[in-house]
């Protein structure tokens, strides 16, 4: 589910779960393990990428709708583990977004250091509220850190989906480029950082991202229970059921 390519000190981790890289427990776990393994193998930076057109469609709702509570506990634990691995990685991570990235796709990008998104008719954003899923607190906090409190409220409460240009305007992504240049721009961002004195760069990066890492230091179990209770609520299950029926799954 993860294709690994090394470009010297930069490792590309390409999501590979056709057709839309929907997030299953297995894909989330595979990406978390790949993020954690990269510095162990000597990589000095990581690019998380995807095939053209679709970064990730978010959680695999038709699959997850069939899961029991224990299976959903496992999924949400893995998702929190992935977010923590991205936030606390000892090496820089760039998201190369070559297509759509709604909901969980934006979540992955949000916890990276830098986000390069493709120009074109693509959509990004935290659309959870639109499908009856309250936005988990840790994701809302990361969004607030990224775009500021007022914009985060506006985006999250309405579950807004934005164009790449709108995403750049509000600060949800950091850079736009033609789709066929995204990977090279992401690699260039990594190489520019790695050209700096490494100890100074990494020490400053740790300090700059410390507030993101501390989101996972306490209260995670209570938050997970709240998220799971919300998932099994009548409203959320009704919205998810409607979505699955609309998709014909």
What the chain holds in terms of domains, given with CATH numbers, is 2-194 (3.90.226.10)
| Residue 189 pLDDT grade (very low, low, confident, very high; cuts 50, 70, 90) | very high
The percent of residues above 70 in pLDDT, for the chain, comes to: 99
List all residues 6 or more positions away from 205 whose beta carbon is below 8 Å from its beta carbon: 92, 113
How large is the average pLDDT for residues 6-18? 97
Residue 230's pLDDT is: 86
Residue 246's pLDDT is: 81
Q: Helix, strand, coil % (nearest 5) of the chain?
A: 55, 15, 30
Q: What is the mean pLDDT of the chain?
A: 94
pLDDT in tens, 33-47: 999 999 999 999 999
- 119 or 66: which carries more pLDDT confidence? 119
pLDDT in tens, 162-184: 999 999 999 999 999 999 999 99
CA distance 11 to 162: 29
**Residue located via tokens 């998932």:** 231
Helix axes 137-147, 220-231, angle to 10 degrees: 110
pLDDT at residue 204 greater than cutoff 80: yes
Choose among 63, 88, 57, 89: nearest CA to 75: 63
CA distance 113 to 190: 10
| Residue 222 pLDDT grade (very low, low, confident, very high; cuts 50, 70, 90) | confident
Residue 127's pLDDT is: 92
CA distance 106 to 57: 9
DSSP secondary structure letter of residue 135: P
Burial class (CB in 10 A: 0-12, 13-18, 19+), 137: middle
pLDDT in tens, 47-104: 999 999 999 999 998 888 888 989 999 999 999 999 999 999 999 999 999 999 999 9
pLDDT at residue 244 greater than cutoff 90: no
Q: What pTM was estimated for this model as a whole?
A: 0.94
> Are 216 and 87 contacting, i.e. CB atoms less than 8 angstroms apart?
yes
**Residue located via tokens 């100074």:** 200
Residue 249's pLDDT is: 58
pLDDT at residue 219 greater than cutoff 70: no
Task: Calculate the CA 124 to chain-centre distance.
Answer: 11
pLDDT at residue 133 greater than cutoff 90: no
Instruction: Choose the weakest-confidence range: 14-23, 97-106, 141-150, 218-227.
Output: 218-227
């Amino acid at each position: 589910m993860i294709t690994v390519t090394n470009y010297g000190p930069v490792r590309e981790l390409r999501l590979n779960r056709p057709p839309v890289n929907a997030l299953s427990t297995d894909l989330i776990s595979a990406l978390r393990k790949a993020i954690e393994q990269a510095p162990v193998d000597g990589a000095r930076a990581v690019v998380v990428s995807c095939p053209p057109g679709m970064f990730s469609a978010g959680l695999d709702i038709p699959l997850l709708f069939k899961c029991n509570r224990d299976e959903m506990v496992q999924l949400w634990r893995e998702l929190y583990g992935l977010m923590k691995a991205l936030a606390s990685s000892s090496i820089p991570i760039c998201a190369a977004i070559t297509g759509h990235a709604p909901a969980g796709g934006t979540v992955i990008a949000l916890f990276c250091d830098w986000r390069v998104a493709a120009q074109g008719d693509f959509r990004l954003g935290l659309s959870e509220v639109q499908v009856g899923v309250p936005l988990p607190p840790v994701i809302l906090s990361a969004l607030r850190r990224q775009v500021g409190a007022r914009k985060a409220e506006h985006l999250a409460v309405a579950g807004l989906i934005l164009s790449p240009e709108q995403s750049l305007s509000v600060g949800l992504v950091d850079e736009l480029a033609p789709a066929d240049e995204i990977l090279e721009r992401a690699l260039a961002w990594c190489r520019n950082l790695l050209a700096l004195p490494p100890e100074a760069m990494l020490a400053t990066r740790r300090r700059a991202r410390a507030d993101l890492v501390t989101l996972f230091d306490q209260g995670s179990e209570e938050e997970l229970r709240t998220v799971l209770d919300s998932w099994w609520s009548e409203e959320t299950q009704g919205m998810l059921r409607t979505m699955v029926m609309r998709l014909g799954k």
